[in-house]
Structure 1
Amino acid sequence: MRTILVLIFLGILSQGFSQQYRVADLKVQGNKKLKTSFVKKIASIKAGKVLDSTIIKDDIKLLKRLPSVAHVYFQVFPSEVENEYNVFYTIEENFTIIPSANFYTTNDNEFAYRLGLYEFNLFGQNITFGGFYQKDIYSSYALNFRAPYLFSKTLGLAINHQDLTTQEPVFFNNTTANYRYNNNSFEILGLYQLNFTNRFEFGVNYFTENYSYKSGAIDSGIPQELKVHKLLYKVIYEHNNLDYSYQYVSGFKSMLNFQYVTSRNKTLPEFLIGWNDFSYFKRLGKKGNWASRLRIGFSTNDDTPFAPFSVDNNLNVRGVGNTIDRGTGVIVLNTEYRHTLYERDWFILQGNSFIDAGTWRNPGGNLGDFSNSQNIRVYPGIGLRFMHKKIFNAIFRIDYGVGITQNATNGFVFGIGQYF
């Protein structure tokens, strides 16, 4: 009864009388690996500050976004000092040392796999560190370090290295060639959290691209061997107002990614590229969740077979195939309805029905390409999600998409985590 009265009291505070009541202390409980000092560092509620239910609500939403946190509750109790209250944050932690194993076949029916291991709460500070090894005809690996709150509540750092080698199709003159593609890169990013909903990333990436011809069509204007050193300057802006409750998500998120890539090679010239993902999530009833993502992107419109935007199963259109086309502009809409079919203790079975639709601008083309029926792909489908409540991103997904536009295909797409 005492807690209920205090919660009613908090409602009054948010309506204009909050200057009368202050926070005696913030107390964190339920956490084991996650450090209490870290929670207090990123929380906006502090001892001595005005007691405000709006600030508490924002803290709860922020904490639920962390990889280490499955859920958070709060309580408010009077302290021994008049007009001062203790605020309690009760945390349900995620298990955050996550191995990954993906197995699949390539277009050449070669067996391929990726094995990885990531810790998402290193030292109890929500630092992500890990990497993966991939065998997909060729060997690849990556190492990643990300600490959003390394220096303060607003300043962090990310460092990434990858040596990725794949077999890539290159499209020109209505023909296709297969190239061995290698990208060896080192990246450093500064992370800045402006406020609860807005953050920025600024950084530079030094990388080497290496193309080697393997099979398929040949053209005198398309080199069979190509090695280029490049610098990539990156700016990311994210507006995030999502609210999480276990498998359910609600709210709006927008992420802008803008890059300038330098080059001294005319075949792979310098270019600008930018895209924005608009995401919207809405709870429907007790077990339903509507999720949508709209991506709009453009790059410098060079007439090159190495255009940056690709049409791919694992990126944008489920069922379309692996890198079936490329372009210098993209508009893609993914929308799906997710429904919890079964939930007990830690296990959740979720079903979904979706429509993925996209269109591309051809390299060197114009905006009219977006309405060209040959460039439009529409793929409805269904899928399943097998989820663990207390392990971060422990979502195994399987989707089956069926094309209903020209020259359509169909197929399964497997992965870890929600598609978007």
Structure 2
Amino acid sequence: MLRLTNQVRPYAWGARTAIPRLLGAEPDGTPQAELWLGAHHGAPSTVHPDGGPVPLPRFIADDPHGVLGPRTVERFGARLPFLLKFLAADAPLSLQVHPDTARARSGFEAEERAGIPVGAPHRNYRDPHHKPELLLALDPFEALCGFREPAAARRDLEGLDGELAGLLRGDLAASDTHEALRSALTRLLRLPAPERGRLLAEFVAEWSACGGRGAHTGIVTDLADRYPGDPGAVAALLLNRVTLRPGQALFLPAGNLHAYLRGTAVEVMASSDNVLRAGLTHKHVDVPELLDVVDFSVLPVPYTGPRRLDGRREFRPEAPEFTLHEIGPGRVAAYLPGEGPSVVLALDGRVELVAEVGHGLTLVRGESVFIPAGSGPVKVEGRGHVVAATVGAL
């Protein structure tokens, strides 16, 4: 087991105190949005073996079969296939979607051939991997997630006399739900530039004057205030509004249009940074690419529940790259599986980790470790709250 130091991503939507509180640091007044625990090149962690600190990607590259295990290398290559994050949102994230594997690979290769630098702001694909993700709420967490029935969105627009509201009602009246949703979202994202500001401002003013409708009452005006002239504020009406209780989780596969609004959570995902944005952002929006990637199906909110095993809660969605384990809070005595590599983060308290092979160590709030493959099951005991990411079923 090797202790980790991890990097914080200071995105503008981040909270100012949650991550410093986790790490036992003084807030510096700047937003701190995500703590990354893994080997993604965007913000890799560092391990601390006896010889001194080593970036985790280099540590893996020096002995991939020993560190990751032969079965992980066979399935995913010589890389850690998952990325664990602690997420602290004080403002909405962009309205976004993630590609599937085929689209990510083809998009990445096309942009490589075109000579677009990986860090270029107009680049869509920063790696050739998909990015399914699971989010576990640590406190009440608000999100927009997946399309609701077009008829429900259309009802919320009834009685609005503005031009844009009328056009959207027409789009949403299509008998085919996929076509109705595609038409409405396409209209919003392709509003003519000379008229966009006027149409959106008129809609938001009328929406506010009538007091809003249903679960989306305050969302449209709040998003419009934060992002004036951004069609994502109105597009929120097409999506389910979700409030997760602590311990509830969502699984977001490729194509699910979503936006996180506020709260703290743990995320685990395939190790990728591929994001296609639809709005609520000042970053690049590629409308044709996004519309090709979005899944316009009407589906239930993608809650995912855990299995209870050996004193832990195991979230194993349909993503081979990862499984998320939660132990605690409170008095704990549990085992983490030891088939492949894992990353463990202590959210609270103090726990002892004892591997079947190798030494043990103590984790307190904010501390984390990387456990190479071959360590065997790891016993976790003490009083605290711990999450761990492992490779999906091997």
TM-score using structure 1 length: 0.21
Q: More relative contact order in 1 or in 2 (CA 8 Å, sep 6+)? A: 2
**Higher alpha-carbon Rg:** 1
From the two aligned structures, give the one with the greater strand fraction.
1
